[in-house]
Amino acid sequence: MKYALVTGGSRGIGRAICIKLSEMGFPVIINYASNKAAALETKQHIEEKNGTAELLPFNVSNVEEVDKILNEWSENHPNDYIAVLINNAGIRLDTMMVFMQNEHWNDVINTNLNGFFNVTRRLLKDMVTKRFGRIINVVSLSGIKGMPGQTNYSAAKAAVIGATKALAQEIGSRKVTVNAIAPGFISTDMTKDLDEKMLKTMIPVGRFGKPEEVADLAGFLASENASYITGEVISINGGLYT
């Protein structure tokens, strides 16, 4: 069986992607850091529509934990592999660089960038040997144009964009595609403290995006129909300048 793993699948964009991939027929592995109640809600949404989902909590920034949990998963699923990986887990800790503490920098890099590396490296071998895989990295407009107050987050997301392009070239011949999705402002917990009324005046379509809109794009990139798209960064931002 081909499974789909969504890191940070408990809430927001990750939850919507879990539901979308389940609707496409994938058994879904819902990763999260600590919010089990939210992860169980995602699982329930999937099961109500007769999909299959399991919870797999781990901290993407902890390489030992990632390896241990994913090794255990493989041992328990000898005939299965994770064919679709959505690197979605992310945090933001915004502050101007002049005030930025080491932990602001390190926590954002460790989660958004090293998390991508830790999980992707572990799952690559199976995708390459099975000759099918989809790696979809959720980055950000911030990683394309840079955002003041987000040097840490912009750096992490820009780094993942570079890695997306490089990895796509390494493994394209094995029928494994690697793409990035760069959302603008999407209504989730991550953006609930922002001034939506003011910010939406800057967005040509005049509103924040919905997690389901990002999930539809992720679903397409995960599908067989997207086999000829790799190394791309696709913006989904209502027309905000990129």
Whether 153 is catalytic is yes
Tokens (6 digits) for 228:
């000829």
Contact track, ligand NAP, 142-181, x by CB under 6 A: ----------------------------------------
Query: Per rule CB under 6 A, is residue 90 in the interface with ligand NAP?
Result: yes
Distance between CA atoms of 116 and 134, rounded to whole angstroms?
14
Tokens (6 digits) for 234:
């696709």
**In 3D, which of 211, 173, 205, 166 has the Cα closest to residue 192?**
211
Q: State the DSSP H helix or E strand holding residue 213, giving kind and residue range, or none if neither.
A: helix 211-222
Distance between CA atoms of 91 and 37, rounded to whole angstroms?
19
Question: 34 or 169: whose CB is closer to ligand NAP?
Answer: 34
Which part of the chain contacts ligand NAP (CB under 6 A), choosing from 34-42, 117-125, 144-152, 166-174? 34-42
Distance between CA atoms of 178 and 175, rounded to whole angstroms?
10
Binding residue for ligand NAP (CB under 6 A) from 18, 186, 218, 240? 186
Which part of the chain contacts ligand NAP (CB under 6 A), choosing from 11-19, 93-101, 168-176, 222-230? 11-19
Q: Which residues bind ligand NAP (CB under 6 A)?
A: 7-8, 10-14, 31-35, 38, 59-61, 88-91, 111, 138, 140, 183, 185-186, 188-191
